[in-house]
Structure 1
Amino acid sequence: MAYILKRLLTMIPVLLFLSIMVFSFIHLIPGDPAEIILGQDATPAALAALRAQLGLNLPLDVQYIHWMARLLHGNLGTSLVNHEPVSLLIMQRLPVTVELAIGTIIIALLIAFPMGVLAVVYKGKFADFAALFTSTIGLSVPPFWVGIIFLLLFTVKIHLFPSSSYVPIWQNPLQNLSAMILPMVATGLREAAVLLRMLRSTMLEVVAQDFIRTARAKGLRAGLVILKHALPNALIPVITTGGLQIAGLLGGLVITEQIFSLPGFGQLLVQSVFSRDYTTVQGAAMVAALIVVVVNLLVDLVYGLADPRIRVEGGRT
């Protein structure tokens, strides 16, 4: 419990720092929100009145305090462009990206772990070369190119999947799966390549250690040695890599969402930046930062589950 409490307390200064960064950087974007809303033909009096209404005429530190006060009450503000609550816009888009990220990670795990284990068990044989080839191809080919090839092959040529038919999974699971499977696989291949390379290299280091040789000397089967002794001791670096991948997917799926016409969170953020919608960009950026911090917290907790020594040491410090 002390381990979890300590990790939760460390989130407070991190989120405070991120809020300052998000608020500060958004004002570096060129353009006047009042001019975007009213148009370039608006009179100076109308622009001044709108800036006063939005609080844009106040000093930045006062604007930040007001923004943080609303944020602490769960109010992300109202979009300057379409005049809808930012929280509503995010709740409409975020489930798409979360579903895509979860599906991507599941596909990556289904590819990386079996191939990584087989590569170590059959080191120097066909399974090992297949794992190296897969990881090299996955790292070399960008996901957006894979997505375009998938669209041309499975949508335009074979007509196996529709081009743009996304519906929420709770409305029509089959139609949702048909729209999401291609982008999940397109991004999952690269994430699998990263995990596969990390898992293989880490496990090769572990199997060279003395306790693995002792386990083999006791007559344990090679597969049992790998699964029971080598794999658990190789998980920490893999968990770290997986956590970074999950956090990175939040912003890395923007191109994939664009290619497959998915109304996701990343697409909302990019559109808001181009339209100079300050409040939406600030709210979306803070939600993204919160998700990244929570993912890092979960990774820390998984560390404790994978290796209890980390949890004990963390509770003592």
Structure 2
Amino acid sequence: MRYVVERLITTIPVLFFLSIMVFSFIHLIPGNPAEILLGQDATPQAIRALDAQMGLDKPIFIQYVTWLLNVLRGNLGTSLVDHESVSQLILQRLPVTVELALGTMIVAILIAFPLGIVAAVKKGRMADFVAMFAATVGISVPPFWLGILFLLLFTVKFHIVSNSLYVPIWQDPLRNLECMLLPCLATGVREAAVLLRMLRSSLVDALGEDFVRTAWAKGLKGAGVTLRHALPNALVPVLTAGGLQIAGLLGGLVITEQVFSLPGFGQLLVQSVFSRDYTTVQGTALVAALIVILVNLLIDMTYSWIDPRIRTDGGMDG
């Protein structure tokens, strides 16, 4: 608990610094929300009136302090374009991206772990070369191209999966699975390639340790030595890579969401940037940063469960 509290306290200055950066950078982008909303034929008087209505006529410092005080009260503001609560917009979009990110990681784990273990155990043999070749191909192929290919093959050509609009899992699990299967596969292949390479390298090192040789000398069988002794010790760097992948996926699935018409969190952020929707950009960026911090904290806490040697006097060593 002490470690968790300390880590949560350190997030406060990080989020504060990030809020300043996001607020400053979004105002440096050319363009005015009022001009975009009113169109090219808008008069200067109408633009100034809308600026005053949205509070954009005040100095930047005053705008930032007002927004920050609202955030501290749990209010992320109102969208300048949709005129809806930013918190509500995020709550509508975030579950889609979280589901896509989790589905992607499930696909990645199901592919990477069997191939990575086989590649490490069969180091230097044909199975190792095949697995590493597959990993190289997986890293090289862009997820959006793979997504388009999947759509053409499984939807247009063979009609195996219908290209239906997104349906929440709590409304219709089967239709949700149908519309999320191809996006998860398209993005999961690349993430699987990254995990596979990391797992193979880490497991090869673990299999060369003294405790593994001792287990072999005691007569333990191969699968038991690999899965019960070597694999847990090889998971720490894999967990680090996986945690960074999950954090990156939450904001990096914009193209995949666009290809498969998924109303996700990343798409909301990009649309807000193009429409100069300052409050939505600031709110989504802040929430994304908080999610990344919490994911990293969860990964650090998992380290001691995987490897109890990772300790300090006051908690865990990140």
TM over 0.5: yes
Q: Deviations over 1:61-111 (max 9, x none)?
A: 221111111111121111111211111111111111110000000111111
Distance 2:292 2:193 in 1: 22
Letter of the 1:298 partner, please give it.
L
* Deviation sequence 1:182-236 (CA, Å, 0-9, x none): 0001100100000000000111111112221122111111211111111111111
Offset of residue 316 of structure 1:
8.1
Question: What amino acid is aligned across from residue 67 of structure 1 in structure 2?
Answer: W
For structure 1, which segment, 41-50 or 157-166, has the greater mean C-alpha deviation from structure 2 after superposition? 41-50
Separation of aligned partners in 2, 1:303 and 1:18: 27
- Corresponding residue for residue 203 of structure 2: 203
Q: Is residue 15–residue 289 contact of structure 1 (8 Å, CA) maintained in 2?
A: yes
Amino acid at match of 2:124: G
Over the matched positions of the two proteins, sequence identity in percent amounts to: 69
Aligned to 2:264: 264
Alignment-derived partner of residue 193 in structure 1: 193
User: Which amino acid in structure 2 is aligned with residue 99 of structure 1?
Assistant: E
Q: Could you say which residue in structure 2 is the equivalent of 1:141? A: 141
For residue 60 of structure 2, what is the aligned residue in structure 1?
Answer: 60
**In the alignment, residue 15 of structure 1 is paired with which amino acid?**
L
2:100–2:184 CA contact under 8 A, matched in 1: yes
Partner of 1:120: 120
In structure 1, give the amino acid aligned to 2:105: I
Separation in structure 1 between the aligned mates of residue 191 and residue 175 of structure 2, nearest angstrom: 25
For residues 209 and 307 of structure 1, the distance between their equivalents in structure 2, rounded to whole angstroms, comes to: 15
Shift of residue 164 of structure 1?
A: 3.1
Are 1:30 and 2:2 matched, yes or no? Answer: no
Distance change in 2, residues 1:203/1:270 (3 Å): same
Contact between 2:121 and 2:204, CA under 8 Å: does it hold in 1? no
Between stretches 150-159 and 18-27, larger displacement belongs to 18-27
Matches of 1:105 and 1:316, distance apart in 2? 25
2:216 maps to which residue? 216
* Alignment correspondent of 1:3: 3
Give 1:116 shift.
Answer: 1.2
Q: Which moved more, 1:95-104 or 1:34-43?
A: 34-43
> Structure 2 CA distance, aligned partners of 1:139 and 1:252?
15
Q: Which moved more, 1:50-59 or 1:36-45?
A: 36-45
* 1:291 and 2:291 correspond: yes
The corresponding residue for 1:181 is 181
Distance apart, 1:314 and its partner CA: 5.0
Query: What is the alpha-carbon distance in structure 2 between the residues aligned to residue 300 and residue 121 of structure 1?
Result: 28
Counterpart of 1:232? Answer: 232
Change (3 A) 1:150 1:58: same
State the Cα deviation string for residues 144-198 of structure 1 (Å, max 9, x = none): 1110110000000011111232111111110110000000011001000000000
One-letter identity of the residue aligned with 1:286:
L
* Conserved? CA contact 1:164–1:261, under 8 Å: no
The correspondence of residues 31-46 of structure 1 with structure 2, limited to 5 A, is: 31-46=31-46
Q: In the aligned structure 1, how far is the partner of 2:248 from the partner of 2:313?
A: 28
Q: Which runs of 5+ in 1 are unaligned?
A: none
Unaligned runs of 5+ in 2: none
Partner of 1:161: 161
3-state DSSP class of the match of 1:247? helix
* Matched residue, 1:308: 308
TM-score of the aligned structures, taking structure 1 as reference length? 0.95
SS of aligned partner of 1:234: helix
Once the two structures are superposed, residues 268-292 of structure 1 have per-residue CA deviations (whole angstroms, 9 ceiling, x without a partner) of 1111111111111111111111111
Letter in 2 for 1:60: I
Q: CA RMSD in A?
A: 1.6
Q: CA deviation at 1:129?
A: 2.6
- Check whether the contact 1:164–1:262 (CA below 8 A) recurs between aligned residues: no
Q: 1:223 to 1:247 in 2, by over 3 A?
A: same
Distance 1:153 1:43 in 2: 51
Aligned partners of 2:231, 2:316: CA distance in 1, in Å? Answer: 27
Secondary structure in structure 2 of the residue aligned to 1:310? coil
CA–CA distance in 1 between the matches of 2:213 and 2:103? 37
Counterpart of 1:308 in 2: which secondary structure? Answer: coil
Mapping 1:80-119, distance limit 5 Å: 80-119=80-119
Q: Say whether the 8 Å CA contact 1:165–1:175 is kept in structure 2.
A: no
For the pair 1:245 / 2:245, whether they are aligned, the reply is yes
Tell me, in whole angstroms, the C-alpha distance in 2 between the residues paired with 1:44 and 1:195: 55
Post-superposition shift, 1:124? 3.1
